[in-house]
Amino acid sequence: MNDRSSFGSKFGIIAAVGGSVVGLGNIWRFPYIAGENGGGAFILIYFLISLTIAVPIMLSEFSIGRRAMCNARRAFPKVSPGTKWGFIGYLGIATAFTIISFYSVIAGWSMEFFFKAVANGFSEQTPEQITSEFNAFTSDGWAPLIWTLVFVLTTAFVVKAGIEKGIERYSKIFMPTLGLIIIGLGIHSLTLPGAGEGLDFLLTPDFSKVTAKTFIQALGQSFFSLSLGMGTMITYGSYIKKKENMFKVAGTVAVADIAVAIISGIMIFPAVFSFGISPTQGPELVFITLPSIFSMMPGGYIISVVFFFLLFLAAITSSISIFEVLVSYVSEEMRMSRRKAVLLTTLAISFTGTLCVFSLTPDSAIAIGGQNLFDLCNLVSSDYMLPIGGLFIVIFTGWSMKKQVLYNELTSDGRFGTKLFKAFYLLVRFVIPVIISILFLSILGFI
């Protein structure tokens, strides 16, 4: 497949991969998960897990993808012919669906909130008003549905334009914009009166709150945030040219991802403390707590507009990567043109997204075991599906792929990172599988 598309430049790769990893996971999810798990101690564990477990998995995914030069489903049998690992690809496709279904809903909320901010809709509202309006909006069904569909269509528009002319081109504009906005908002937050307390909460570790669950949540958050465990990086890896240094790409985006998560914390917690709000607000932190704060803050108008625009940018560059996993699968496995594959994927996601939207309406029957579909997708995807996918991916890399093939791919035939290979191989063969398995066994009550 010599005519396969690829990313055009080094900066393009970093922007596209960085666009995938930096998303709602950093700005919407990380702060409330860190808040619920005690702040500083969680962040320390998250940091360690990201560097020792997540980065090697990202390198494994890149190697599989670039070796196979095809979609995430076909990649496994292509790299190790005659083995039975193809199911990992199907698990990835299922996970991609699970994530994009609820992700588009939140991204839709960010669009609604952006326009509301532009119309000065938060000013002079009490926190109670903001809460009841948010609840009324999300439980309405139709209004969030329209935004979800607008978001899915916008994503489809970018993906349809292809790798270099679509994903890479837009990421190259969106990501630097996002970087500037987030740094600006972070600096502004540090000037607020309660900044010290917020930073203390974020950075001082309190180990009394750490349990096995903290580790699983940190693991899940790190997989979600770095887009790992479902084949996103296999798909993007298949568009990386052989001459590129994958260690550099993985290292850069991992550092950027952690930095954006921490800056998001810095952006949010000082404000939370300075207005006397509880840090453990859950998924609504960004949509209820923050607007309440914006309404009280000097300059809150402009900050709210910029913030929700940031949230939208972060969401779209990530959702295009999830979309691309599905589109490359559909177009290659069902032998369809890219156009048709995008259409089919859009229809399917619109359907599952609609189910998630309506699972939030009052007395909705779209629930399993008493939990609505939206919450279920959020929870199951990052705490179970991604880590399990990641576990299989490292086992595949460490035990099924031939060592020499892996070495050649990972190091670009001995050009980059050859000294790191030994440590990498040890991690993917033994250390990472053992750690993930122990965490799961302890969560399931076996240890």
Binding site for ligand PHE (CB under 6 A): 20-21, 23-26, 99, 224-225, 227, 230, 232, 318, 321-322
Residues 6+ apart with CB under 8 A from 233: 17, 20, 58, 61, 62, 65, 227
Question: Which of 154, 412 has the CB closer to ligand PHE?
Answer: 154
Amino acid at 55: V
Tell me the CA distances in angstroms from 307 to 16, 115, 257, 288, 340, one per residue in order: 21, 11, 18, 13, 35
Q: Which is nearer to ligand PHE, 110 or 372 (CB)?
A: 110
- CA separation (Å) from 397 to 50, 95, 322, 406, 416? 18, 20, 22, 8, 18
- For the CB of residue 121, give the shortest distance to ligand PHE in the complex, in Å: 25
* CA nearest to 25, candidates 253, 331, 304: 253
Query: Which of 99/313 has CB closer to ligand PHE?
Result: 99
**Closer CB to ligand PHE, 80 or 95, in the complex:** 95
- The CA distance from 218 to 30, in Å, is 9
Least Å distance between CB 288 and ligand PHE?
20
Residue 368 C-beta: closest distance to ligand PHE, Å: 21
Instruction: Rank residues 318 and 359 by Cβ distance to ligand PHE and give the closer one.
Output: 318
Report in angstroms how near the CB of residue 117 gets to ligand PHE at its nearest.
Answer: 21
Of the pair 17, 192, the CB lying nearest ligand PHE is at 17
62/224 with CB nearer ligand PHE: 224
Q: How far is the CB of 194 from ligand PHE (least distance, A)?
A: 27
Report in angstroms how near the CB of residue 106 gets to ligand PHE at its nearest.
9
Q: How far is the CB of 246 from ligand PHE (least distance, A)?
A: 18
- Measured from the CB of residue 185, what is the shortest distance to ligand PHE in angstroms? 17
Where does residue 131 rank: exposed (0-12), middle (13-18), buried (19+ CB within 10 A)?
Answer: middle
Residue 99 or 240: the one with the smaller Cβ distance to ligand PHE is 99
Least distance CB 230 / ligand PHE (angstroms): 6
Which residue number, 108 or 300, has a Cβ lying nearer to ligand PHE?
108
